[in-house]
Each structure stands twice: as structure tokens, then as C-alpha cells.
Amino acid sequence: MTAAILPDPASVVDLLVRSFNEDGHLDPLRIPGLAELHRDRQRAFQTVQNRLQRLLREVPEAFQESSIVERNGRFCLPVRVERKGSVPGLVLDRSSSGATVFLEPFEVVGLNNDHVEADRAYTEAVQAYLRDLLERLRARREDFLAWNTFLSEVDETLALLRWSSLCSGRLPTREPERMDLREARHPMLLPAVRRALELEPLDHDVVPLDLVLSAEIPGLVISGSNTGGKTVVLKTVGLLSALAQTGCAVPVTEGSNLPALGSLHADIGDHQTLIGSLSTFSSHVLHLKTILAHAKPGGLVLLDELGTGTDPKEGAALGTAVLQALARRHCWVLCSTHLGEISQWALRGQRFRNASVQFDEDRMAPTYRLMVGQPGQSRALAIATKLGLPKSVLEQAERMLGRREQDWREFLRQLEAERVRLQEQAETLQQQQAALAKDQRILQEREEQIRRQQERFQRESSEKLTRVLDFLDHESKRLVKELKEHQKQEASKAHADRIGTEARERVKTLEHIARTELAPLAAPAARKGEPAPELKLGGWARHRGFGLEGKVVALKGDRVTLQTPQGRRLEARVGELEAIFRSDALPSAQGRVRFRSEGGRVEAEINLIGRASDDIDTEVHRFVEAALADGQRFIRIVHGHGTGRLKAAVREALKGHPAIARVEDAPQAQGGAGATLITLR
């Protein structure tokens, strides 16, 4: 039932709150009609008590003790038998020793009568009120049942949530064809559960359980040493399966699967009794009879110490027959046994696998770890040796073991040794794989670091190259301009030739410097999985010497014209270029630069007030390049005073530019410290 369709409990709650106090007792002061009767009874009671207290104070020597007692609903005093004449009254009772009489003084008889009447009236009124209340509540019987059902469901849900939290559990999947437990633990062995149940903590860690059964192999035969944990395995599987059927979370890890069970049967423990004349074997047989009669396909059957309590050969034969019958019924079966014949049968069969509880040969103690895939030994003689049984007895026991039994034990010992060796190899291989994976991660991280460094170097070098080329262009234009001015002044041809030669030599020197410093730029490889691009009109190329990138805007024979993202053009031979991948479009025309005349000088000016300081670097470089291309000598950047961050960003962007000769605050008439004046080379 959901809360949406529950009847409203408000009226019932209000009725109960008006009738009872916080301790669950009827509160007469909250009920009209009872309050006055309650006060009458209290007044009558107090009047009797006061009169008797006065008598106790007047003749204290007459009383056995200074207290008021009640006999047959009437209040009286404990008077010494030899002094009963001191207090006139009625004897209501005597003590068992006869030394004390319980006497009702005559002067309180009427007061006692008043109290008895007041008490009777109050009691009858209370009973009448409770009968009426009960009838009113009985009329809401169906509502109470609905509330009880809902609260039971809430209580169950909260219990499931608390249980899940205690055992740190999860809900296993419910696929029908496999039983897969991963790192399963018995709930009663978990520290949090033991604390909640106020049980003593364990003195050792809980060893998790891993096992897998399938429709092809639905059975497991567990053998191994005594006190090794075989029964704990059965109980863990059984309890977790039962909890999972009810929707409870269980202490397993991700990937665990517990199918829905057709039935659940277990024969665990010794059920022999003296009264029923049942031996250990007989009790097991009766349980097997019940299991074979009621086990359903898909059911889980847990059998502890199968075949025990009788002749080992007959017990083994009976045990294997029971396992075969359960396998034909398609049951999930887990059994523990000390009989080697049953383990050997499972080794030869198709429907069962062997498992054993691990035993530490060095410590001569079990490890409680389940080893699926191999049978185990009972280790009876080894345990007897550890417990101090006489050596002569143990040697005699060894001689009495048959040759076949000794061979079987030796086979199991060698099998265990081989398993340990393979496990050690697997652990070593796992460690090597982990180390290799770690080295690969380190190598990948280093490769990524180198790649980022190369990209940063490429970007910084390209920017540096652009600035150098801009500076070269500016210098060449300036020299040409000087040459033209001299020609206009009709300077001598020798003087003009000298200036031209000087200009050409200076340009060659600057080009040599640029090639020497920036030629090592490495071109990035073509994208993985793509062929190298071709040099074509509209494509992108990089100058092998300078590393400068641009879009191919003209292609005539061996000559190529590139246009850089900054709008500059560069001519080169085909052999000096390499095609690259790039989809970037050329940037749009840059913002207009305002020119102004101040004191006979023409200056380019840009106003950056209001711009974020984070993107100033690119804007400043574009402005300087535009001024260089226009042949300006003086430029001004207006940034304002403000906090000083914008000015600092502008000055930082101007540092190291090869075309800048001087950076200073503008004159006071041109903005002072709120603007920066730049002199270009």
C-alpha cells in the first residue's frame, strides 16, 4: 500500500493525544468530566493523609514505624500491639509476627469512606471513557490495519537499508544460468555487523570467498583439512543466496551473480539424539531423504560431511549416488567431505568440480582460502602431529595406510606444490605486466610533454620570426625611403650608390641573422593516417627556412606568393616551401588605426581602454605590424591609469620586439602615464 491511498490518521491521532500523556497513561486532566472527579479523589486522599500524619506526630511511641499503610482499600497506621489502646480505632489486619496491628483510627473512618467513594466514582468514569474510546477506535479497524501494513513495509525497507549499510553490500545480478560469488564474506564475520549485534570482534581478518558454478558444472565437492573453513563456505553461500532472494544487499563485489532459487535445502551439523535413537549417520540419511523428496530444479542444496558416520566405502558410494541424483534434477550443489573416493569421482565426472580449503604446510594451519579446481587432504596426521600425539602412534598410522592411499596423498601433495609454483609465476608475471604498464604510462606522459614543448617552441619561434621579418621589412622600407630622399635632393650618384649598397648589405646581414636564429624550426609531421598535402593555390605552406606559415595566393611557375595570417605577403621559390594542413581562414581586415598629427609628427594611435588584459598581447603586436607596414616612426597606445594592470600588460607585450627602439610614457599633453609612446626603428 502506498502513502497516497492511506486513510488520514489525523482524527485518531488527535483523539489519542487528548486522552493519553507522553508515557502512554490516561491523563484525566485532558478529558472533560474526568478532571473534576480526579480532583475530588485527590482532595479526599490528601485529607486522610494529613489526619494520619498528625496522629503519627502526636503519639509516635505507639507506632511500629512512622508510615501510613493501606489495607483493603483503606488507609491505616502500624500500631504496636501493646499500645493499641493509645489510638482508638478499628483493627483491619495483623502482621505475620503478631507484634503489629494495622489500625484505622475512628477519626479517619469517615474520611476513608469519602476517599473510597471518590475513588470508586473516578474509576467507574475512567472505565466508561475507555469503553467509549475503544468503540470509536474499533470503528477505524480497517484504517489501523492499513497503517500497520504500511508501517511494516517502511520498517522492512529501513531494515534493508540499514543492513546494506552495515555489510557494505550490493545487489547481485540474477542471471539464471550461473552462480558467481566474488569476494563474498559471511555477514556474521563482518566487523560492522558484529559491533551492531554487540558480538566479540574477531582476532583475524575475514578471507573472502570466490567461486563460480554454471549450468554445465552446477556442483562443487569441497575437501581439505579439519577446521579449515569448509562448513563456513557452505553457510556463506547458503546465507547470501537466501538474503538475495528477499532483495537484501549482500557483502560481495561487482560482477557477482546469484540466480533465483527453486528451493533451498541444507544438511549441516550433527543431528544425533538420544531420545530419538538417531545416530550421526541416521540423522544425515533422514535429511537426505527429505532433500531428495523436495529439492526442485534450480534449487540450492548444501551438504556438510557427505558420507560421514559409516563405513567410508559405503558412505562414499551413497554420497556419489546422492550427488548424481541432484545433478539430474538440475540443482546447484555444494558439499563438503573427507572421503577421497567422492573427490576422485568428482575428478572423473562431468558435472562436478573439486575444491579444497588451503593448508599452510609451514605453519601447519589452514588459511581459510577456497581453492577451486583441486581436491584437498584432511591432514588428520599432520594436525595430530601438531597437537602432540606420540610419534610412535603417528608412525604406526602411516604404515597402516594402504599403498593406494599413500599414492593418492602424494599425488595431491605434488598437485598442491605445482599449483603454488604456477601461482607464484602468475604473480610474478602480473607484477611485470604492472611495471610494464607503468613504464608505458610514463613514456606516454613524456611523449605528450615533449609534444607540448615542441608546439610551444614552434608557436613562440613563429611569433619571433614574424617580428624579425616585420623588422626587416621596416628597415628595408626606411632605407629605401632615405635613398629616395637623397635622390630628391640630387645627391651625387656615388653618395646614392653608397647608400643603396649600405642598405643591401644591412638587409643581407639581417636576413642572415634571421635565418641563423630561426631556421631550425621543425615542421610538424602530416596527420596520422593522411597523405602529405600538395602545394596548391588556396592551400597552406610553411617556409622551410623561416618557419613562417601562410596561404598560397599566387602560384606562377617556380614562384609562390604566401599571405600570412597578419596580412603580409611573402614571395619564395617552390623548393623553399612545404605544404601543410591548415583549415584556418585568413583573418579579416584589422581594426582601423587612427592617425593624428602632433607637433609636426604623424603618429598612429590605438585606444585599448576597457579591453581585458588577458588578450592584449595579440592586439598590440597587430598594431605594431600595421604601423610598420605603413611606415610609421612613432606610435601611441592609450590604456588609461586605472589599476595599472592594462598598462603592465601593454608594456609586457612590447618587450623584446625587434622593431621597437624605445618605450616611454607619453608627454603630459598627450595623456602622460595613461598612454605609452613607442619609437620604431
- Asked if residue 344 has pLDDT above 70, the reply is yes
8 compared with 603, residue with greater pLDDT: 8
- Asked if residue 599 has pLDDT above 70, the reply is no
CATH classification of the domain holding 324: 3.40.50.300
Residues 242 and 356 in one domain: yes
Q: What is the pLDDT of residue 357?
A: 84
By the 8 A CB rule, do 681 and 659 touch? Answer: yes
Residues 248 and 123 in one domain: no
Count of other CB atoms within 10 angstroms of residue 312: 14
Amino acid in the structure at residue 458: Q
Domain boundary among 563, 588, 613: 588
3-state secondary structure of 248: coil
Q: What is the pLDDT of residue 507?
A: 56
Residues 42 and 93 in one domain: yes
Amino acid in the structure at residue 625: E
Count of other CB atoms within 10 angstroms of residue 576: 16
Confidence of residue 144 (pLDDT cuts 50, 70, 90): confident
429 compared with 374, residue with greater pLDDT: 429
- Asked if residue 130 has pLDDT above 70, the reply is yes
pLDDT, tens digit (0-9, with 9 covering 90-100), for 469-526: 666 666 666 666 666 666 666 555 555 566 556 555 555 555 554 554 444 444 444 4
350 compared with 117, residue with greater pLDDT: 117
- Asked if residue 333 has pLDDT above 90, the reply is yes
- Asked if residue 529 has pLDDT above 50, the reply is no
Strand extents, DSSP E, 45-133: 69-71, 74-80, 89-94, 100-105
Residues 219 and 107 in one domain: no
pLDDT, tens digit (0-9, with 9 covering 90-100), for 382-405: 777 777 788 888 777 777 766 556
Which region among 225-234, 258-267, 317-326 has the lowest average model confidence (pLDDT)? 225-234
Residues 241 and 389 in one domain: yes
Cell of 135: 468503540
Residues 312 and 213 in one domain: yes
Q: Domain for residue 353, yes or no?
A: yes
The H-or-E segment that residue 317 falls in is helix 312-328
3-state secondary structure of 422: helix
* Spatial CA neighbour of 323 closest among 343, 638, 410, 603: 343
> What percent of the chain stands above pLDDT 70?
79
Count of other CB atoms within 10 angstroms of residue 386: 12
Stated length of the chain = 681
Q: What is the pLDDT of residue 50?
A: 94
Range of the domain at 339: 173-400
CATH classification of the domain holding 77: 1.10.1420.10
Cell of 66: 512512622
Q: Domain for residue 71, yes or no?
A: yes
List, as one string, the DSSP characters of 186-197.
Answer: -GGGSHHHHHHT
Which region among 260-264, 444-448, 562-566 has the lowest average model confidence (pLDDT)? 562-566
- Asked if residue 338 has pLDDT above 90, the reply is no
Phi and psi, residue 353, nearest 5°: -120, 155
305 compared with 486, residue with greater pLDDT: 305
Q: CA triplet 421, 422, 425: central angle to 5 degrees?
A: 90
Confidence of residue 317 (pLDDT cuts 50, 70, 90): very high
- Asked if residue 282 has pLDDT above 90, the reply is no
Confidence of residue 48 (pLDDT cuts 50, 70, 90): very high
H-assigned helices in 340-402: 340-348, 380-386, 391-400
141 compared with 524, residue with greater pLDDT: 141
Domain boundary among 400, 432, 464: 400
597 compared with 630, residue with greater pLDDT: 630
With the C-alpha atoms ordered 355, 360, 366, 369, is the resulting torsion angle positive or negative? negative
Burial profile 10-47: b = 16 or more Cβ within 10 angstroms, e = fewer: eebeeeeeebeeeeeeebbeebeebeebbebbeebbee
The H-or-E segment that residue 573 falls in is strand 569-573
What are the CA-CA distances from residue 503 to residues 79, 470, 483, 489, 563 (Å)? 142, 16, 9, 18, 25
Q: What is the pLDDT of residue 179?
A: 95
542 compared with 241, residue with greater pLDDT: 241
Q: How many domains does the chain have?
A: 4
By the 8 A CB rule, do 103 and 93 touch? Answer: no
Q: What is the pLDDT of residue 128?
A: 93
Residues 583 and 600 in one domain: no
Residues 563 and 662 in one domain: no
Q: Which residues pair with 356 in a beta bridge?
A: 223, 371
Q: Domain for residue 417, yes or no?
A: no
Confidence of residue 681 (pLDDT cuts 50, 70, 90): confident
Cell of 544: 622551410
Separation of alpha carbons 289 and 270, rounded Å: 16
By the 8 A CB rule, do 234 and 268 touch? Answer: yes
